[in-house]
Amino acid sequence: MDSRHEKQALKNALFVRKLIAWAGLPALLTAIGVVLVAVFTVGIAAMFLSQSSTDSSDVATNGEYDPQLVRIAATAMNADPSDDFIKNLEAVIQNESGGNAAVIQQVQDINSGGNEAAGLLQYTAGTFAYYALEGHTNRLNALDQLLAFFNNSDWESSIGWTTIMGTKKMEWLHSGPQGSPRFKSVPGKIDLNGIDQSELTGQYKLNTTGNTYPKGQCTWFAKARSGWSGNGWGNGCQWGMSAAAAGFTVNHTPAAGTIVVFAAGQMVGTWRADPQYGHVAYVEAYNRSAGTIKISQGGTGFSSSTGPNYQTLSNVSSFVYIHKK
């Protein structure tokens, strides 16, 4: 609790003490009254502070999903939302789940006791099943929920500004979708190239076919995760030169879906790459505003040598990136 709320709590407590003293109640009740008011004040302050953080519009950095999925899902569903609509939908996602695709409803309401809402947009099981597409029926999958959202014939009118408990918020206008399902299966192409698939339950994949690197090495994981890097590129620190010789674009420009190369002995966040072999990893996401990359990696030094082991790094321009052709 910040200083403003601490001061208000003290004022409230003193006021109650004076009031109880004036009424002639026992000292014990005075102490209880002070504690209750302080707890009540802290609770109210926490509620408003929590509400403030939830209302953040910086969904790209606060959410645990890739905001690019909104546009990808819309395109796959033959929907063409405006940039403003997408921004509003991202705000709804933040208000509903904080961008956590696996979150289960915590608030007690009519859905409690077995019908709790879940996922990015907090669908109940029945509602999600009604709009879910064939092959995309995982309620805790960010992509599947967004596909279901755009499968609602009334998706354009389903969200907007509303007032909840005296607070104006961007939310569901009818506590959920109201239209009819538009399709049974996804009508368009789902292009997940270059986005953070580690946040998509059931979407993370390793392609081990034709991988000649020793299993459990960082090079094995980087090839398996990317699916497009070459065999015979040598140790991790040699991958940049090998990739360039094979015609790949290699530079210091970070991007999701690239392979990041660490020189021998180079710092990888809080630890140092092997002083002889270096290290390679796969870039799951690039946060331009924060100046960070999220990588997945394997190697004998991790708890899981075959990955994925996730890490977020800054100082991103100091690393070498191999871009897919």
How many other C-beta atoms are found inside a 10 Å radius of the C-beta of residue 143? 28
Rg, Å, the chain Cα set: 25
Determine the topology of domain 218-323 in CATH.
endopeptidase fold (from Nostoc punctiforme) (3.90.1720)
In Å, the largest CA–CA distance within the chain is: 89
Alpha carbon distance 187, 198 (integer Å): 24
Supply the pLDDT for residue 27.
47
Rounded to two decimals, what is the model's pTM? 0.50
Supply the pLDDT for residue 192.
77
Of 153 and 106, more confident: 153
Supply the pLDDT for residue 287.
84
Q: How confident is the model at residue 89 (pLDDT cuts 50, 70, 90)?
A: very high
- The residue type at 291: G
How many CA atoms lie less than 13 Å away from 245 in the CB half-sphere? 10
Q: How far apart, in Å, do the first and last CA atoms of the chain sit?
A: 51
CA dihedral 188, 61, 149, 130 (to 10 degrees): 110
The mean predicted confidence, pLDDT, of the chain is 80
Ranges in the chain annotated CATH 3.90.1720.10: 218-323
